[in-house]
């Protein structure tokens, strides 16, 4: 199992989207506790950024692509600042999906058959036969999994927002109140060239960004939904009977007879 097929693409996708969101200036600056109806678009964006940066955990559900021929992908992860996560990544176009559980110094992965076939063409079928319905357990600091484990860390997302929030090129507009699910939101829209980013900010309670939508930019079309702020990552991890240690897997050279 060479390279880092388990981590690179989902991490790049998530990072690129959040850099795109933060880099449009739709999240940034210093917040002020005022009635959201009386705030300007930039003031709401400021409050939203601060709320996101103050969260200790969040559920991220995303789908779509970033254009330029990139494949559609989806993420469904609950992540926290301690680097714990629980959820799944789907690489799209029948390229495979992976269930992910990370807790402390360990990570458990359960790739599906399409993943083994397309992402690990040399030996993937043998690994799949050995694992069966079990999770692959590995140290979270494994070099092969570093990109993936970064995706599991809320600090990674928050740092991207913090580091890329000062570019205010383009026009930021405040829309009329609408709803995302059962939540009342204020949409903020930033247009830059042929790319449009919309951030739907909660209109009541903490002004969390609840949905980020990206359209344009050489065919990009992606949506990220954020929820479950400060709700803990599930603590349940796969049992020993449900797990197979990566060192034992790499010591096998072929599927069992």
Walk me through the domains of the chain, giving residue ranges and CATH numbers. Answer: 8-250 (2.50.20.20)
For the stretch 68-74, contacts whose Cβ atoms lie closer than 8 Å and that sit 24 or more positions apart, written own/partner, are: 68/217, 68/218, 68/219, 68/220, 69/218, 69/219, 70/13, 70/220, 71/95, 73/9, 73/10, 73/13
Q: What is the pLDDT of residue 5?
A: 46
Q: For 94-117, write each residue's pLDDT tens digit.
A: 888 899 999 999 999 999 999 888
Indicate if the pLDDT at residue 45 is higher than 80: yes
3-state helix, strand, coil in the chain (%, to 5): 30, 35, 40
CA 23, distance to chain mean position in Å, is: 17
Mean pLDDT of 33-47: 83
- Burial (Cβ within 10 Å: 0-12, 13-18, ≥19) of residue 248: exposed
pTM, two decimals, is 0.82
> Binning pLDDT at 50, 70 and 90, where does residue 249 land?
confident
Share of the chain above pLDDT 90, in %: 37
Q: What is the pLDDT of residue 217?
A: 63
Mean pLDDT of 172-183: 93
Q: For 5-21, write each residue's pLDDT tens digit.
A: 444 444 444 444 444 44
Q: What is the pLDDT of residue 148?
A: 75
Q: What is the pLDDT of residue 69?
A: 64
Give which of 22, 23, 119 is closest to 73, Cα–Cα.
Answer: 119
> Binning pLDDT at 50, 70 and 90, where does residue 168 land?
low
Indicate if the pLDDT at residue 234 is higher than 90: yes
For residue 199, what is the enclosing H or E element? strand 195-202
> Binning pLDDT at 50, 70 and 90, where does residue 31 land?
very low
> Binning pLDDT at 50, 70 and 90, where does residue 81 land?
very high
Q: What is the pLDDT of residue 136?
A: 92
Indicate if the pLDDT at residue 57 is higher than 60: yes
Please state, rounded to an integer, the average pLDDT across all residues of the chain. Answer: 80
**Across 50-64, 140-154, 186-200, 225-239, which has the greatest mean pLDDT?**
225-239
């Amino acid at each position: 199992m060479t390279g880092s097929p388990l981590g690179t693409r989902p991490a790049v996708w998530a990072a690129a989207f959040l850099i795109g969101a933060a880099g449009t200036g739709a999240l940034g600056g210093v917040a002020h506790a005022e009635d959201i109806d009386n705030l300007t678009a930039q003031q709401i964006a400021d409050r939203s950024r601060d709320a996101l940066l103050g969260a200790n955990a969040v559920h991220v559900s995303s789908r779509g692509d970033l254009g330029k021929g990139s494949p559609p992908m989806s993420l469904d992860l609950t992540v926290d600042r301690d680097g714990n996560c629980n959820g799944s990544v789907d690489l799209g176009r029948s390229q495979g999906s992976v269930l992910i559980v990370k807790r402390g110094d360990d990570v458990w992965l359960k790739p599906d058959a399409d993943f083994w076939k397309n992402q690990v063409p040399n030996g993937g079928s043998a690994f799949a036969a050995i694992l069966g319905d079990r999770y692959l357990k590995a140290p979270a600091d494994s070099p092969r999994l570093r990109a993936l484990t970064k995706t599991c860390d809320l600090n990674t997302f928050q740092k991207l927002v913090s580091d890329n929030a000062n570019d205010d090129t383009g026009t930021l507009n405040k829309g009329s109140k609408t709803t995302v699910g059962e939540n009342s939101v204020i949409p903020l829209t930033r247009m830059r060239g042929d790319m449009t980013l919309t951030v739907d900010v909660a209109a009541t309670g903490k002004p969390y960004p609840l949905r980020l939508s990206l359209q344009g930019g050489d065919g990009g079309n992606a949506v990220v939904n954020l929820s479950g702020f400060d709700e803990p990552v599930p603590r349940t991890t796969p049992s020993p009977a449900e797990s197979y240690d990566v060192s034992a897997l790499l010591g096998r050279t072929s599927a069992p007879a």
